[in-house]
Amino acid sequence: MMCLYFWILLLSSLQTGILCAVQCGDKRTVNGAVGGDVILPVSQTGIKDISWVIVNGGTHFATTKPDGDIDIRDNRYKGRLYRTADGSLNFTKLTREDQREYTANIRTDPGNKQCEQQYDLRVFKKILPEDFEILPTVTTNVTCIVTLLCKVNGSEVIITWSRPDGSNINVINGSLLVSDTNTSYTCTAQNPVSNSSKTVIPQTYCNKENGSTGNKQSQLRNTAVIASPLAIGAVAFIGVGALIANRKNRKKRKIEVEELAPTTYVEVQQKQQTQNVIPENSGQQKNVTAQTLYSEVQHPKKPEKPQRERVNNSEQNIKPEKTDVNTLYSVINSVKHKQEDSKETTVYDTIK
Give me the pLDDT at residue 259, please: 55
Whether 241 is covered by a domain: the verdict is: no
In the chain, % of residues over pLDDT 90: 45
CA angle 82, 87, 88 (to 5 degrees): 65
Closest by alpha carbon to 339, among 295, 280, 255?
Answer: 280
Same domain, 112 and 170: no
pLDDT digits (tens, 9 = 90+) for 306-345: 444 443 444 444 444 444 444 444 444 444 444 444 444 4
Top mean pLDDT of 30-39, 134-143, 208-217, 238-247 is at 30-39
Whether 215 is covered by a domain: the verdict is: no
Q: How far apart are CA 33 and CA 147, in angstroms?
A: 33
Whether 255 is covered by a domain: the verdict is: no
| End position of a domain, from candidates 124, 139, 161 | 124
Whether 113 is covered by a domain: the verdict is: yes
Res. 106: pLDDT tops 50: yes
pTM of the model: 0.54
Give me the pLDDT at residue 61, please: 97
pLDDT digits (tens, 9 = 90+) for 29-77: 999 999 999 999 999 999 999 999 999 999 999 999 998 899 999 999 9
Q: How far apart are CA 123 and CA 98, in angstroms?
A: 7
Question: Which domain does 110 fall in, by range?
Answer: 20-124
Q: How far apart are CA 62 and CA 100, in angstroms?
A: 15
Q: Is 96 helix (H, G, I), strand (E, B) or coil?
A: helix
Whether 117 is covered by a domain: the verdict is: yes
Whether 296 is covered by a domain: the verdict is: yes
Same domain, 98 and 186: no
Give me the pLDDT at residue 232, please: 74
Same domain, 76 and 154: no
Q: Are 153 and 124 in contact (CB under 8 A)?
A: no
Give me the pLDDT at residue 241, please: 75
Give me the pLDDT at residue 272, please: 44
Same domain, 24 and 120: yes
Same domain, 136 and 157: yes
Same domain, 74 and 100: yes
Q: Are 49 and 66 in contact (CB under 8 A)?
A: no
| End position of a domain, from candidates 124, 154, 178 | 124
The more confidently predicted of residues 18 and 113 is: 113
Whether 95 is covered by a domain: the verdict is: yes
Top mean pLDDT of 205-214, 242-251, 264-273 is at 242-251
| End position of a domain, from candidates 181, 203, 225 | 203
Same domain, 116 and 133: no
- Split into its structural domains, the chain has a count of 3
